[in-house]
């Protein structure tokens, strides 16, 4: 009963947290950035460098996609563990997938962020992070790399 009360209190606090206004509303609903007069290879390299310089592990970098991730710690990890996993699952990881594609002489990037954990019998559980605060963090990251 006590554990249920604690969980309910945490969700209530999370629901009361103020949401920022979106920096850039997009038609896809995900953070997006346009890199003018560039190529997919150059933008992919910028994303890899940006993730690496922030201490985020580059887990995959293929033709039109970059996936970065980091194991969560502290209070965020505890909340994510309660939301996505259980006491037998692996520590939760925050992951970001950047999809990169050429549009004439420009390159567009769309990003999706989620939390993931592996359960005791191997299944992967995910929870998308699509709140305004999380979307703004990724949008700021894209701006810091030169996106418009």
What would the pLDDT profile of 74-97 be if each residue is shown by its tens digit? Answer: 877 777 777 776 777 778 889 999
pLDDT at 14 over 60: no
pLDDT at 6 over 70: no
Give the angle subtended at the CA of 68 by the CAs of 63 and 75, to the nearest 5°.
165
Taking only the tens place, the pLDDT of each residue in 94-139 is: 999 999 999 999 999 999 999 988 888 888 888 888 899 999 999 9
Across the chain, the runs of DSSP E, i.e. the strands, are 32-35, 57-62, 65-71, 93-103, 106-118, 124-128
What pTM did the predictor assign? 0.80
Q: What is the CATH number of domain 34-144?
A: 3.30.310
Mean per-residue pLDDT of the chain:
84
pLDDT at 27 over 50: yes
- CA-nearest of 17, 20, 57 to 140 is 20
Predicted confidence at residue 99, as pLDDT, reads 97
The 10 Å CB-count burial string (b at 16+, else e) for 109-146 is bbbbbbbbbbeeeeeeeeeebeeeebbbbbbebbeebe
Taking only the tens place, the pLDDT of each residue in 39-63 is: 999 999 999 999 999 999 999 999 8
Cα separation, 28 vs 130, in Å, equals 12
């Amino acid at each position: 009963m006590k554990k249920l009360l604690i969980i309910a209190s945490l969700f209530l606090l999370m629901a009361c947290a103020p949401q920022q206004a979106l920096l850039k509303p997009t038609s896809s609903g995900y953070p997006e950035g346009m890199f003018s007069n560039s190529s997919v290879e150059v933008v992919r390299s910028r994303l890899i460098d940006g993730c690496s310089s922030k201490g985020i592990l580059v887990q995959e970098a293929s033709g039109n996609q970059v996936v970065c991730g980091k194991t969560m710690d502290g209070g965020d990890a505890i909340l994510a563990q309660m939301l996505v996993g259980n006491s037998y699952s692996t520590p939760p990881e925050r992951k970001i997938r950047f999809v990169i594609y050429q549009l004439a002489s420009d390159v567009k990037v769309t990003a999706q962020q989620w939390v993931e954990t592996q359960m005791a019998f191997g299944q992967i559980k995910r929870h998308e992070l699509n709140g305004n605060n999380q979307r703004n963090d990724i949008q700021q990251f894209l701006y810091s790399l030169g996106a418009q």
